[in-house]
Structure 1
Amino acid sequence: MLLQTKIQIPHFENQLNYDQEILTIGSCFSAVIGRKLLERKFNTLNNPFGTIFNPLSIIKLLQHALNGDAFPEDHIIHHQGRYLHYDFHSDISGNSPLELENNIKLSAKTAGQSLKKVSTLIITFGTAHIYELLHTKTIVANCHKQDSQLFQKRLLNIDEILDAFEPFHNKLIQINPRVQILLTVSPVRHIKDGIAENQLSKSLLRVVCQELCTRNKQINYFPSYEIMMDELRDYRFYKEDMIHPTAQAEDYIWEKFSQSFFTEDTKKKILQIETILKALSHKAFNPNGEAHQKFLSNLLLKMEQLTPEFDFSNEINQVVDLIQTK
């Protein structure tokens, strides 16, 4: 009996391994993938600008980082004791305009350096709905809970996303010809836009991804949204907000991602690291007991054996401290 509609997972021709550098940018699902890559010791820069939902803001940030351009000062606002910028998530903020400016410069510089040498750029589009500042007619990445009357909401069209992406991509491959781009549409539901409106938005983003993949063989698509909608078609795979996937759903999509994009040797190394991560999260019944101390010693040995290739220094220190409390 079939209880699921299985999504055909694409085979990524240039599969990922631990020798490559990865940059993620986009919606919160991009941050989830980035976090899982970091946990498994991949060389990853994860969402350096914070969570960004719409394609034009994502492209703008990437373009500015690549060119080293300055960001407009008139997009700086003061909200609840912090200075924020309309082009960035609230993760990029400051106690003063100068501190905010320095944090913006640092994130842009870090992203720009990464773009010039990265092997894989993972971009996750969240929504095609955007907000424009009425007095400047410019798109913002985040409204930062400002008065809604300051903004106009509209739906992007396919051509304006493609037209924005093309010059960025052309510049990127001039500087970094070997870069592979992986596109995905976020499985997070933007239902405050409306159910039908969310579906329309996701459909537009999916068409954009397909067009970009068709135009360039170095651009690929991973069906995270489709996996969530079809294989995980049950509200038990959503958190209480009925918007975000649960940890179980994220793990399921990650497994599909791993099948598609990692070499066999890389999968074996990931399995070793995941075994260690699971052991590190183990809650001991008797932390000072002989059995648990032996467990910690064996765990320490496993990490030390992998240390020449992977940095387990923090984890090793954590376990050493527990052993020393015996």
Structure 2
Amino acid sequence: MRWSIDFPIHESPFPISHRSKILSMGSCFAQTIGQKMKNAKFDVLVNPFGTLFHPLNLADLLDHALFQDPLDQEGMLERDGLFLHYSTHSDIAGKSPEELTEIYSQKLRLTRSYLEQGTHLILTLGTAWIYVHETFGRVANCHKQPQKMFEKRLLSLEEMEMGLWSVLDNFSRAFPNLKIILTLSPVRHIKDGVAENQLSKSLLRVLCANLEQRISSVSYFPAYEIIMDELRDYRFYKSDLIHPSEEAEDYIWQKWQQAIFPVSTREKVSEIQKVLAELTHRQFNPDTEAHRKFLQNLLVKVERLNKEFDFSRELAEVESRIKR
């Protein structure tokens, strides 16, 4: 008897290689897949404004990056001695309004550079529910402010599509070489309610399909469907039963590689991951001839990879172990 299904995922029309320059933004999956690519030595900028969940929050920041808009001072607040902004995650913080403004400007410039020079933009959408501040408007993060200051809304498909489409359509003209991969976060926002979460995810999935039809540079990767249909079991979630487990993340990563990376890139990723795994190996007794030989062989592998990628940190680590 079969206990799961396996569905085909078509190869991406916009493959990613180690020559690609990638910006990954959005919810937790954007962070997870972006970090895995970063670990595999891809040139990728991951969530420069912190974790973001709503498509219009992403649209706002991408639009600001395109036009290098200054930080709206009306959205700034102070909490626990730090200055935050309603348009970004609490990871973006300053000790003064001036410091926060400078950090935000730096993030905008960095994001713009990845859009101008980049080949791929990965956007992961998390929820269609959004919080609207009584004076500032829609926010990306409430920063633990009193609930009475916000109104929670489920935005319509039309609102979200118009907002995100207008930005991506601008990108297709400003950055004609930029390819966009949309994904739907597999994280379940059940604090909104189980039925409400499913409604939200349904709206976002239709949003992705509509954008894929309207913009030729857009494609979709089914991370959400992999969790819902292939890994349909709570053993593939962490203890909170909301976030995918490490095993599930690794499974999706394998599917991502098969769909998005050419064969030559997958082979290179496998080589890199094997060497990185060897770097984490800790010998019970390092004062043996076998371990010294292991380190010498590892040094050769790292030196070879360092000719193609930045393995300077790993190279220094192996050399320091040899000298001990």
Distance between the aligned counterparts of 1:179 and 1:276, measured in 2?
31
Partner of 1:159: 158
Partner of 1:223: 222
Give the deviation of 1:296 after TM superposition.
1.6
Give the deviation of 1:10 after TM superposition.
2.1
Does residue 134 (structure 1) correspond to residue 134 (structure 2)? The answer is: yes
Partner of 1:37: 37
Cα deviations across residues 184-210 of structure 1 (Å, max 9, x unaligned)?
A: 000011111111111111110000000
Structure 2 counterpart SS, 1:84: strand
Matches within 5 A, 1:264-279: 264-279=263-278
Give the deviation of 1:166 after TM superposition.
2.2
- Give the TM-score of the pair, scaled to structure 2: 0.98
Structure 2 counterpart SS, 1:139: strand
Report the identity percentage. 46
Cα deviations across residues 23-61 of structure 1 (Å, max 9, x unaligned)?
A: 100001101111001100011111111100111001100
Does residue 79 (structure 1) correspond to residue 79 (structure 2)? The answer is: yes
Partner of 2:24: 24
Unaligned runs of 5+ residues in structure 1 are none
Distance between the aligned counterparts of 1:50 and 1:61, measured in 2?
11
Is the Cα contact below 8 Å between 1:23 and 1:118 reproduced in 2? yes
Distance between the aligned counterparts of 1:130 and 1:14, measured in 2?
31
Give the deviation of 1:172 after TM superposition.
1.0
Partner of 1:246: 245
Partner of 2:4: 4
Moved more, 303-312 or 200-209: 303-312
Give the deviation of 1:250 after TM superposition.
0.5
Distance between the aligned counterparts of 2:105 and 2:233, measured in 1?
43
Distance between the aligned counterparts of 2:153 and 2:96, measured in 1?
32
| RMSD (Å), alpha carbons | 1.0
Structure 1 stretches of at least 4 aligned residues deviating more than 2 Å after TM superposition: 287-290
Structure 2 counterpart SS, 1:116: helix
Is the Cα contact below 8 Å between 1:125 and 1:186 reproduced in 2? yes
Distance between the aligned counterparts of 1:230 and 1:187, measured in 2?
11
Does residue 101 (structure 1) correspond to residue 116 (structure 2)? The answer is: no
Does residue 119 (structure 1) correspond to residue 119 (structure 2)? The answer is: yes
Does residue 199 (structure 1) correspond to residue 224 (structure 2)? The answer is: no
Is the Cα contact below 8 Å between 2:24 and 2:30 reproduced in 1? yes
Is the Cα contact below 8 Å between 2:172 and 2:217 reproduced in 1? no
Distance between the aligned counterparts of 1:135 and 1:85, measured in 2?
14
Partner of 2:63: 63
Give the deviation of 1:90 after TM superposition.
0.9
Give the deviation of 1:283 after TM superposition.
2.5
Q: Residue type matched to 1:90 in 2?
A: S
- Give the TM-score of the pair, scaled to structure 1: 0.97
Is the Cα contact below 8 Å between 2:132 and 2:139 reproduced in 1? yes
Q: Residue type matched to 2:276 in 1?
A: L
Distance between the aligned counterparts of 2:174 and 2:134, measured in 1?
36
Is the Cα contact below 8 Å between 2:169 and 2:215 reproduced in 1? no
Distance between the aligned counterparts of 1:229 and 1:312, measured in 2?
37
Structure 1 counterpart SS, 2:177: coil
Is the Cα contact below 8 Å between 2:13 and 2:219 reproduced in 1? no
